[in-house]
Structure 1
């Protein structure tokens, strides 16, 4: 028994061939059966083969190149236990070789069909390191992978290719370097291992699509990608406008079309060189202004030129439309200019020009509006009384979003021949036209059925010009700063200042003089019940004259519809010029004679101007100066600053022209002192 145990222990320590070991086992069995006397000869027979093997290995050249035989893969059948032991014993002395091991995944770990089949055959990454132990070997192990039955042949093919590559690499490396392949590391650390990894990466996938490609090409994936920008844009709109109602109202706004996006784009480059401005007037036929200077183009001619040159759109906001004399039920020879304007408006849609109108809902007669609608005009009635308690008193034009008109003239045949009016016409000023278009767009939104004033106006209607950020451009070749104002404050979008703020800031900016020409001036709420005192503008004028000694001149209209309370307030201002105050305030009344017309034309023969000019600024508006017009009634104002105009300018600036107009009227024979108010106004 001792010899048998000795033989088995030595056989485990010394590698022998399988056949030799089997022979030893047989000899050991025979020895156990034989008598004790034959023990020495049998032991010699067992020891002799082991010693011969050791002797043969001592004589072998240790530097000789050995080529190990590849072992069968685990998938091809498990080797016998004795074979495993032989391999283990032989690995102790043989040179490095490659062992490939692949483990199958249990059936219950099969991946779902929705997973990426390209990822089911994971690629082993290679990590190399130099070792000094000669008994170290290069091993390629593959961790259990989740593979479907369709991808298993591909995995076996990849494993076989990897086995051959590793064997070739091992022969080239020899005894100098040893590498270890693992699936745990992501970054190769040797060039040869990196090349091996690149070869493995380049293995064909046999048509297995990428996961992201499959999802991208699927219908649900495409719909999701298209829906994400829409949801993001809608979320941004709600965040900007704070109100879902304003967002829904904006969906009907025409400027959200592609052309509208371009038109709402801010910028002043288009206005820097070609913008020009012209003062236009209507002088009643009862005024003899032939000998008075300056003279300016008529509003009638300016309107006709705008309509004749319109190419794409005409947008008009007005208090009412009475361009024909049908409202007075008589044929007046001076109404032909109003009729000509109406015929031009009616013919715009037939020329391919879109006519859009926003008008106050309360109309004396809708005959003209109905006729324009029948010919293709888009008319919106704005119920300002229910929205703010006022009226739509604005008078503005926007033509082709390049030219604009702002002034005191209504869409009335009398405004062209029977009423003294003043306005400004700006040509080729697309930047200011876009800004005025945004004010017009607010009126159009309020003209929709069931419209209401939102808590915050859409960001697409925000002001492009303001008191603190005016548009910088050239007017008639001279540098200028310009901005638009609006009223009431409820209709002012983001960045837009109110008309009242524009007027007060213009007065406070004056250094030497303030000249004002308006039809009505009353520091109270006229249409409130009961009436209340409202001294905002009045205080600004008193402070300018008495504190800063700025010369203040007021030219106020006097006609049969003038209220007696207005003259009391004007008298209180005029008294400040008496001793000992000596505040430089002076008030005069402008009277347009009627020459005893029979029958008299209603609402005619009046100075309807609404402007102010200082030594630095020019303001042209559409509102009378009382609280109602700035808190409830819709209006618009244009402020131009040309105080730093170049001395070598080719002509007078707009501010200078407006100053000349005021001085002409102030010194005309149609001006009377405040004390003669009884002659022109009824009690």
Structure 2
């Protein structure tokens, strides 16, 4: 009897150390999704990776009951006659060459779903110049089955936007990634995402996040916000009244139907030791691995006031993926922007979370960390200083005098899509500009990190604001096929002729 009790006790302890799983019987399949700009002949195509424009059309055309879309802004239809647009002045033949017709096909697929009486909800940021809410408004006009709302997160946080890019079809098929609802995101911007088909368990969780944003859009922010003394980031800022950055006695009950309940921890939100994992066998084609064991996947969200259940914050998802690297292994990070600070808050927040994680794996695990950052027409000048300071980890590592030597390394490269410095309207004030491509194009816009064992695909730039005041969604997985495929996407860019190394301080040519 004593032996039986001891055995049962060991089983309980073992179960407590395992990740928390949500079971599902779905026949879930998934593919990585990518957009590659035109006129990049030396960039190899990755087999088995789908086109963003195709996936958007499939999601809309295959929807029979519901279609929910989160978008920062809309410009699926080109605007060459609008002088306020970055498309202005380009000819029909130019637009055809740019691939603008693909955006029109996506728009028509949503319009067709609306005509089939599919229940459609469109949630966007508002106020982006010039008229980036016109298309969802037109889709909803006169159709009771199509609802369109805009959400200004700046009213809730003092800054921030709806930045997530998410499609949910029939509560079972999902896109999460970096691509905006913009024709240029399909053919003139590098994007990376994931398409999940038949994954209702995952889709329902993402829909809960969508519902929370939708609910936020209907609430009076003046009633549901407070000015908080944020002791984690040492600033005063506006936050929702249920935020963990507010002392517990002054905190209100969350009006959101699903919201995370964490222990009282000051300041802010603690990382979860057992974030929720999905024990779903995600099918991939072709299926190459010999190991048939199910590998866990997860979701992460931003900002933290919109978390629910046991899902982790998006910041934790990024950090945990970096730290998942094996001894002597490699972490690959791809982003448009990287700042060790906030971009839009006043005063500025110093943010070292990701930089610290990178330096930690360089020292503790002798890891190699490769970082790709976009260099484009709207490059943030402060980026260079932060990237160079991160490279100083190499100096500290190589000069380490402790008994166990450090052999890790950070390597950073700028990604320059050809034509990045020739973007904007073709005509301005009646004069030809000499620009070769529409505005806000020719940029590496994907946001992901992949270690040897874990892949994390998101919607957030690597800047403080995107994790604490801006909506973002990420999907992560230990599925080795996705890990290897995402590494392949990164390596194709890293080894292309379109990158240049970032130099350490004092090493300028």
Structure 2-normalised TM-score? 0.74
Contact preservation (8 Å) 2:377, 2:440: no
Task: Give the CA RMSD over aligned residues.
Answer: 2.5
1:380 aligns with 2:197: no
In 1, distance between residues paired with 2:466 and 2:150?
A: 19
User: What is residue 165 of structure 1 aligned with on the other side?
Assistant: none
Q: Does 1:555 align with 2:372?
A: yes
Aligned pair partner of 2:465 in 592, 610, 628? 628
Kept in 2, the 8 Å contact 1:558–1:589? The answer is yes
- 1:407·1:622 contact (CA, 8 Å) conserved in 2? yes
Aligned residue runs from structure 1 range 42-441, under 5 A: 268-271=23-26, 274-289=27-42, 291-294=44-47, 296-326=49-79, 327=85, 328-330=87-89, 331=92, 332-333=95-96, 334-364=99-129, 365=131, 366-376=133-143, 377-388=146-157, 389-441=159-211
2:399 match: 580
- Conserved? CA contact 2:31–2:48, under 8 Å: no
For residue 569 of structure 1, give the secondary structure of its aligned residue in structure 2.
helix
Question: Quick check: 2:43–2:493 contact (8 Å CA) kept in 1?
Answer: no
Contact kept, 8 Å, 1:486 with 1:492, in 2: the verdict is yes
Q: Shift in Å at residue 362 of structure 1?
A: 2.0
Q: Per the alignment, in what secondary structure is the counterpart of residue 624 of structure 1? A: coil
Per residue, is there more helix in 1 or in 2?
A: 1
The CA deviation string for residues 233-261 of structure 1, in whole angstroms up to 9 with x for no partner, is xxxxxxxxxxxxxxxxxxxxxxxxxxxxx
Unaligned stretches of 5+ residues in structure 1: 1-265, 644-652, 678-683
Q: Deviations over 1:374-418 (max 9, x none)?
A: 152201111201012211101101100010000000011110011
Distance in 1 of aligned mates of 2:380 and 2:354: 18
Give, in angstroms, the shift of residue 350 of structure 1: 1.5
CA distance in structure 1 between the partners assigned to 2:45 and 2:104 by the alignment:
29
Matching residue of 2:352: 535
Instruction: Output the CA distance in 2 between the equivalents of 1:335 and 1:345.
Output: 16
* Shift, 1:354, TM fit: 1.0
The corresponding residue for 1:612 is: 449
Provide Cα deviations, 1:649-681, integer angstroms capped at 9, x if missing partner: xxxx1111111111111111111111499xxxx
Higher strand share: 2
Distance in 2 separating the partners of 1:470 and 1:457: 24
Q: Which has the higher contact order (CA 8 A, sep 6+)?
A: 2
1:329-360 per-residue CA deviation (whole Å, 9 max, x = no partner) reads: 44522311111111221222220211101111
Q: Which of 490, 501, 508 is the equivalent residue of 1:673?
A: 501
Distance, in Å, in 2 between the alignment partners of 1:373 and 1:492 is 29
How far 1:462 sits from its partner (Å)? Answer: 5.1
User: What SS does structure 1 have at the residue aligned with 2:154?
Assistant: helix
**SS state at 1:355 partner:** strand
Q: Secondary structure at the match of 1:348?
A: helix
Distance 1:571 1:267 in 2: 42
> Which of 664, 667, 671 in structure 1 is aligned with 2:492?
664
Instruction: Name segments (4+ residues, structure 1) moved above 6 Å.
Output: none
Distance in 2 between the 1:569 and 1:483 partners?
30
- CA distance, structure 2, for counterparts of residue 466 and residue 473 of structure 1: 21
| CA-CA distance at 1:291 after TM superposition | 4.3
Partner of 1:641: 478
Are the counterparts in 2 of residues 281 and 422 from structure 1 also a CA contact under 8 Å? yes
C-alpha distance after superposition, 1:35-80 (max 9, x if no partner) = xxxxxxxxxxxxxxxxxxxxxxxxxxxxxxxxxxxxxxxxxxxxxx
Out of 202, 207, 213, the position equivalent to 1:443 is 213
Q: Is the 8 A contact 1:474 1:480 kept in 2?
A: yes
Residue 563 of structure 1: CA displacement? 1.7
Q: CA deviation at 1:459?
A: 8.1
CA distance in 2, matches of 1:467, 1:345: 38
Distance 1:359 1:499 in 2: 20
* Normalised TM-score (structure 1): 0.56
Q: 1:502 to 1:447 in 2, by over 3 A?
A: same
Of structures 1 and 2, the larger Rg is shown by 1
Worse-matched range after superposition: 529-538 or 465-474: 465-474
**In the aligned structure 1, how far is the partner of 2:112 from the partner of 2:31?**
26
Pair 1:519 & 2:336 matched:
yes
Contact kept? 2:335, 2:447, Cα under 8 Å: yes
Report what 2:280 is aligned to.
Answer: 473
SS of the residue aligned with 2:193?
Answer: strand
3-state DSSP class of the match of 2:296?
strand
CA contact (8 A) 2:61 2:110 kept: no
Whether contact under 8 Å (2:32, 2:50) holds in the other structure is yes
Q: Secondary structure at the match of 2:442?
A: coil
Do the aligned partners of 1:398 and 1:404 also contact (CA within 8 Å) in 2?
A: yes
Quick one: distance in 1 between partners of 2:112 and 2:379? 38
